[in-house]
Structure 1
């Protein structure tokens, strides 16, 4: 397939490269000259505008920072410029309302479009092992599936337009809460005289085990390799977790759903970010405890 990729940041760069590895012809756009240079080294054609990149494509994939940018890119440069036959796939994490607005505009213009936010982080983006949570009509999701499968290990339809975003923000709210709880448990264990490795060996096979412990342990040298073993560099940045928690809290307010643990997690990550840790992996919040 001929695929346009818009947004070659930490996630998008690896995702676009995996499309090439899986035999697709990729044209890309990004505002960063360095990102475009890296893309070219990965066998990706680069263009100076979004409109040029999407011309004649079978699919358009985007990975962009926020809802305002997604709306601007699609309404200003993709819809009406990409072929009507092109399936549109937004992998950004944005608010549900903006997502549904953009998909409605694309549908009115004759496009199939899905929201397909991801779980897995930079390593999974580079390794092609992302999980995609997809929202859209059954037909649109099936058209998007071959593109998404070239970048990930799992493609799951969550429901209609916006359902992918809903699943993503609920998942990441749970992850943020879970990580703080894991960090609290390790710090309490330490102060009670337990060795971190011994506590891990016990909790990882007991009722307290969770992904934040067994796959992404916040304690250096314990469990599988994780950002904690690299001074909390790489992985999923604190400022991105905070973005997702803010989206979750806005959605909770709109849905009139009580999320006291989510709200407290947001507050703790806000404090952690304000202290200059925005670029560090979110598991570095253990340093605040």
Structure 2
């Protein structure tokens, strides 16, 4: 399949690499050139500007946020210049409001739009083991399924409305941020009574909370191991903001979301935005004077 791929950041480069390994013809574009050169060395071709990637059968986008996606996909004129019949597989975490706008703009351009955000960190992306939530026109989803299979271990279909996949991703990241915060607070509490965070989190992530997210982030919190960042704290702040905005649009209160946003803002204000978002779990130790 001819695939255009835009966005070769921490996640995108592993995803694009797996498409190449699966035998697809991949044309890549990225704002910085080093990742493009790495993909070309693996067999990809390089697009000089975004619209060249829109000449494929399927365009995969994995860009940082709404603003970058708007600039690259919409403001550049790439969508308007897309090949007739193109399918756009949008795999980034974007806001409900922006995805709604994207759906409308794609209808106008005659391009089919699928929302397919992913769960998994950079190592999972490199291994092709992502969990992908997918929503869009069924025929288009069927067409891109080989691509989803190359990038992920499981695809979770959510019907034909792209907003369904978008809100599941936003909700999932809200839950992850909540887990990181509560583990950090529990670790601070236990340490104040002489129980080391590593002991507490080892017990709980092997009993009551024996799930990958708790195990992985629990270990990082216990070890205060927040670099290198697989998912930056600034991106966590962005995603909690997406949850709050989505909730406000439907009059759904998210009280703990406001707490998370403020704690993430505090971390960014104190120079921790570049750290992995698991650093949110270290804030409670600092607030309690134990770090």
208-217 or 138-147: bigger deviation: 208-217
TM norm structure 1: 0.89
> What's the TM-score once normalised by structure 2's chain length?
0.89
How far did residue 157 of structure 1 move? 2.0
Q: Are residues 104 and 204 of structure 1, via their aligned partners in 2, closer, same or farther at CA, if it must alter by over 3 Å?
A: same
Equivalent residue number for residue 157 of structure 1 = 157
Moved over 6 A (4+): none
Q: How many residues align?
A: 282
Tell me the SS of whatever aligns to 1:193: coil
TM-fit CA distance, 1:162: 1.7
* Cα offset, 1:210, TM superposition: 5.0
Name the CA distance, whole Å, in 1 between partners of 2:118 and 2:220.
25
Q: Offset of 1:16 from its aligned partner? A: 0.8
Cα distance in 2 between the residues matched to 1:43 and 1:54:
19
Task: Quote the Cα distance in structure 1 between the aligned partners of 2:50 and 2:14.
Answer: 19
Q: Structure 1: 5+ residue runs without aligned partners?
A: 223-227
Q: Which moved more, 1:88-97 or 1:73-82?
A: 73-82
Quote the residue 1:63 is aligned against: 62
In structure 2, runs of 5+ residues without a counterpart are 285-291
Q: Given the superposition, is the C-alpha separation of residues 116 and 137 from structure 1 closer, same or farther in structure 2, using an over 3 Å criterion?
A: same
Q: 1:286 aligns with which of 276, 281, 291?
A: 281
Query: Offset at 1:221?
Result: 6.7
What whole-Å deviation, never above 9, does each CA across 1:17-66 have from its counterpart, x for those lacking one?
A: 111011111001112122222222222111211122322x1110011122
1:259 to 254, 257, 263: 254
Distance 1:133 1:154, change over 3 A: same
Matches of 1:174 and 1:108, distance apart in 2: 35
In the other structure, the counterpart of 1:193 is 194
Quick check: 2:54–2:86 contact (8 Å CA) kept in 1? no
